[in-house]
Amino acid sequence: MSCPKWAKQRVEELRKIIEYHNYRYYVLDDPEISDAEYDRLFSELKQLEIIYPQLQDPTSPTQKIGGHPLSSFKEFRHNLPMYSLDNGFSFAELKDFLARVYKQLKQKVEFWVEVKLDGLAVELVYEKGKFVSGGTRGDGIVGEDVSENLKTIRNIPLRLLEKFPEYIEIRGEVVLLKKDFYKLNEQKIAAGEKPFANPRNAAAGSLRQLDPKITAQRDLRFYAYGLGQVRGISFSTQEEIYNHLKQMGISVVPEARKCFNSEEIEAYFQHIQAKREQLPYEIDGLVIKVNDLALQEELGYTARSPRYALALKFPAHQAETVLKDVIFQVGRTGVVTPVAILDPVEIAGARISRATLHNESEIRAKDLRINDHVLVQRAGDVIPEVVRPILEKRTGKEKPIRFPAQCPVCGSKLERLSGEVAIRCLNMSCPARLEANLIHFVSKKGVNIEGLGRKWIPVLIKSGLIKGAGDIFYLKKQDLLSLPRMGEKSAQNLLQAINRAKQNITLDRLIFALGIRHVGEQTAKILAKHYASLDELSKASEEELRQLKDIGPEVARSIVSFFTLPANQELLKQFKKIGLFPVKPKDFLKQTLPLKNKTFVLTGSLKSFTRDEAKTRIEELGGKVSNSVSSKTDFLVVGENPGSKLEKAKRLGVKIINEEDFLTLISNS
């Protein structure tokens, strides 16, 4: 089909608009339009490129879906070596570094201090503003050409926005955000695959995929921290490089600040360390760089690292201890997981006495034995795990870890299903499975019955008071008081918590709580978006479910077989009877919804909700949630550490409410 002029113009216009909104979203962290509006622009561009293939362009934002699989990676040679950094582990080492710098330069020096992202170093090459190639650091001289994969990363623009030079090599870190790391591991575990040990391994594994389509699904991010070879522009400070990179549409390391002495650097270190767990990405310290590039050159390099920079590391998430024993836990799906019993050890502020050993092949691969000295790791919300044995400390008294042949709880023979690493207890009524299922059911991300979980579920099952999830809602005070070590006050609190859970349940959490195989938090959210109630979901066919985004054949099959089981049909009936049955309002109901036509914007973190939960609540009550403040915003909900939206809302006179006001508003509604 010949291509009319208007289509050509519109395609160019759409590309510019989309690139601009990518820039607002990724670089400035201040989007101007909603996700839905963005999606509309994107699909308009995609459609035009399909109708008029002659308009396709390798640098169009639509090209981020990933090209053809490769058979191997080519070499990627760096024009200038990519150095490593010297590490410091204490303020004393920081002072030594500063003293060396002052001694050599004989003058006062400004430092540019930024977070050290824990990912994978890469270099991107742009010629005349267009992305041409990119590679990993490798040994600093030669890495791997991962251009096709880098192209799929959403915050790597395929064309720079403005003020770009003739040629520029941009260096930075590719990371996987913590939330995406948890999501990916959730999927891996559900599929019976080995999870990644940490976000860095996950980022590296995702970028070094021969099939770019897999990389495209992983939602990696790139943050720049420096330059390689450059032609057609020059800079005088690190700070200037940052500002210029941002103008070109490149995301830079998100936390950085200028410091003038060791006190300021130490204060910044404490500040970042305090918010380390809340940051969306993993960091392992700060990088301190001399700001002035001429002074950097004057200081020069050792064989391995620049003399103008230091990585000041946070205390490790790892510690050494002794593996005393291994016990075997039976999970919801009957999977038997080996758990290490450790000599208690403190890691990053928590006392650790247990850690997961994943499965038998992992134990064999790591060659772990009882009585081994081991390295244990804890990062963020991840379950602590044993990294490896300390082989130098073996005495000969270590004993092999033996796997049971029978279920440690019900005695049934354990089986390994074909293609799985895990061994399972296949007895559906194994008490351990019931216990794990119910603990999952009442957990925070599930029905959320505070105080019941791990402490009381086993006791309630043992006493015969509950045999399934529905029974929890029939518990009476005298039932609870009959339990050992249950006082009047605790019984009261539990009953209140059960009641509260019933009032506050949302469809997505209820679906997640059911513990359907392969249905994690994210999948539950997708299902709750498309179905108005459990009834509707239970009637969906495999074909219908497979139409939904991110729902594959295995997940669809698992959902259908869950609802086919008569015991689960019964459970649904019981839920209905109890009133544990959220039904999403149909559109016509929205007419009378209390927050109808009200637009909310959220900023900062809320204590009682995640962003998504708050959004779901608002939408259920008929309101809308937008990403940016405008004169049309009705309420700005302010949590902890609010962003620039607060200032904008004040300027525009938008009503500002805190979390407490918000809770009142939605509970009154």
- Find the catalytic residue in 74, 103, 116, 393: 116
User: Does position 389 bind ligand IVH by CB under 6 A?
Assistant: no
Report which of 595, 602, 615 is spatially closest to residue 649, judged by C-alpha positions. 602
**Choice between 157 and 226, CB closer to ligand IVH:** 226
Residue 121 binding ligand IVH, by CB under 6 A: yes
225 lines the binding site for ligand IVH (CB under 6 A): yes
CB nearer ligand IVH, residue 145 or residue 282: 282
Between 566-578 and 553-564, two packed helices, what is the crossing angle to 10 degrees? 70
Q: Please identify, among the stretches 110-118, 143-151, 260-268, 372-380, the one whose residues bind ligand IVH according to the rule CB under 6 A.
A: 110-118
Q: Is 306 in the site for ligand IVH (CB under 6 A)?
A: yes
Asked whether position 137 contacts ligand IVH by CB under 6 A, the answer is yes
Q: Which of 162, 144, 135, 21 is nearest to 74 (CA)?
A: 144
| Coil, helix or strand at residue 611 | helix
Angle at which helices 521-530 and 178-190 cross, to 10°: 90
Backbone angles phi, psi at 576, to 5 degrees: -65, -45
**Token digits of residue 383:** 């379950």
Q: Using the rule CB under 6 A, is 253 a contact of ligand IVH?
A: yes
Question: Is residue 42 at the binding interface for ligand IVH, with CB under 6 A as the rule?
Answer: no
State the number of CA atoms in the 13 A half-sphere of 527 facing the CB. 36
Shortest distance, CB of residue 285 to ligand IVH, whole angstroms?
9
Of 78, 116, 151, 159, the one binding ligand IVH by CB under 6 A: 116
The answer to whether residue 101 forms part of the interface with ligand IVH (CB under 6 A) is: no
- According to the binding rule CB under 6 A, does residue 168 interact with ligand IVH? no
Nearer to ligand IVH, 180 or 255 (CB): 255
Q: Verify binding: residue 226, ligand IVH, rule CB under 6 A.
A: yes
Stretch that binds ligand IVH, among 100-108, 113-121, 200-208, 635-643 (CB under 6 A): 113-121
Contact 372, 366 (CB under 8 A): no
Nearer to ligand IVH, 169 or 173 (CB): 173
Cα 662 to Cα 658: distance, rounded to the nearest angstrom: 6
Q: Which amino acid is at 180?
A: D
Interface residue with ligand IVH among 19, 114, 282, 372 (CB under 6 A) is: 114
* 636 touches 581 (CB < 8 A): no
Select the span of 109-117, 161-169, 470-478, 653-661 touching ligand IVH (CB under 6 A): 109-117
Q: Binding to ligand IVH by residue 173, rule CB under 6 A?
A: yes
Q: Tell me if 309 contacts ligand IVH by CB under 6 A.
A: yes
Q: Tokens 């990405």 identify what position?
A: 281
Dist CA 305 CA 296 (whole Å): 12
Contact between 623 and 590 under an 8 Å Cβ cutoff? The reply is no
Q: Does 259 engage in binding with ligand IVH (CB under 6 A)?
A: no
Query: Tokens in use for 556?
Result: 């669809």
Chain residues 63-92 in contact with ligand IVH, contact rule CB under 6 A: 83-85
**Catalytic site includes residue 598:** no
Separation between Cα atoms, residue 261 and residue 578, nearest integer Å: 64
Q: Does 534 bind ligand IVH (CB under 6 A)?
A: no
Q: Which is nearer to ligand IVH, 256 or 524 (CB)?
A: 256
- CA–CA distance, 654 with 651 (Å, rounded to integer): 8
CB 323 within 8 A of CB 388: no
Is 149 exposed, middle or buried (CB count within 10 Å of its CB: 0-12, 13-18, 19+)? buried
Q: Which residues lie near ligand IVH (CB under 6 A)?
A: 83-85, 114, 116-117, 121, 137, 173, 225-226, 253, 287, 306, 309, 311
Catalytic residues: 116
